[in-house]
Amino acid sequence: MIIIGVGAAVKTIYTQYADFLDTQYFSLPNMLIATGALIFLVSFFGCCGAIKENWILLAIFTFLLCIICLFEFASGIAGYVLRSQTAAYLDTRLRADLSTYNESTHAIWDLIQSNFECCGVDSYADWSQYFGESGELPVSCCPSVSGVVGAFYCNSASTTTGTPSTSYSTTTTTTTQNTTSSETTTSISSSPDPTPISARSDQNQLVNLAGSESTTAPYTEGCKSAFGAYIKQHAYQIGGCALGLAILQLAGIGFSFYLVRQLKNGYFST
């Protein structure tokens, strides 16, 4: 159950970033899931052999257990190898996909930059090859500001913060009196809400919001570092889980060999 759970969890995590990850990042979780399912099937031979004291079933169980153990060692080694290759792979992939932002990869870029609080490949300066020297950045490169109403944009050249937009009303009271009667007239006038500002309608911009424009400082860490550390962490978990279970399984294989030998000797001695 442990090996299936780890494989399924890592596969679920990798799936949301599938546009940036190669198939090799999904082969390891799939291998763990398949290995866990195979262990369930193989355990049938071990249980039947132990209950019936049948050395042939136990021998089949031991043989299959050895094959599974090899799969687990292979998965563990592959996890550590994949971990060491992640930085170089992401550097190549992120730089290639950055040039297609706003066409096919803006959604995954925005997801990664928002989730990992990063910007660009190495830094926000990488976006200059797409936006030019204007200093503009995707909104996902900047942390959003709570309580500020207005068009929010991301810019590496300036960091101004807008103020909340408020509506207000004034009350004017006019009192007119004469010698015969007294009359009080009250008039209420309300000033309209501030005129909505139309922000730039580029991809990932907020438009037609009341209030002044605002921006914050962009994230300084590159996504190759932040996102890469996340991917390498899970590759490390796959490798550690597979190798740990393989080592524990060696004890089970040794015990199975012992039972097979004992039952086999008892079978031929009768």
Distance CA 49, CA 243 (A): 27
Distance of CA 102 to the CA centre of its chain: 20
pLDDT per residue of the chain (270 residues) written in tens, 0 to 9: 778 888 888 888 888 888 888 888 888 888 888 888 888 888 877 788 788 888 888 888 889 889 989 988 988 898 888 888 888 899 888 888 887 776 678 888 989 999 999 999 999 888 888 777 777 888 888 887 666 555 666 776 554 443 333 333 333 333 334 433 333 333 333 334 433 333 333 444 433 334 455 667 889 899 999 999 998 888 888 888 888 888 888 888 888 888 888 877 765 555
- Is the Cβ–Cβ distance between 45 and 60 less than 8 Å? yes
Cα separation, 190 vs 131, whole angstroms = 43
Is the Cα torsion angle 74, 80, 83, 84 positive or negative in sign?
negative
| DSSP 8-state assignment for residue 103 | T
The DSSP-derived string for 193-218 is PPPPB----STT---SBSS--B--PP
Dihedral Cα 235, 239, 244, 245, nearest 10 deg: 100
User: For the chain, which residues make up each domain, given as ranges?
Assistant: 2-114+222-269, 143-217
Residues 6 or more apart whose Cβ sits within 8 Å of residue 226? 116, 117, 118
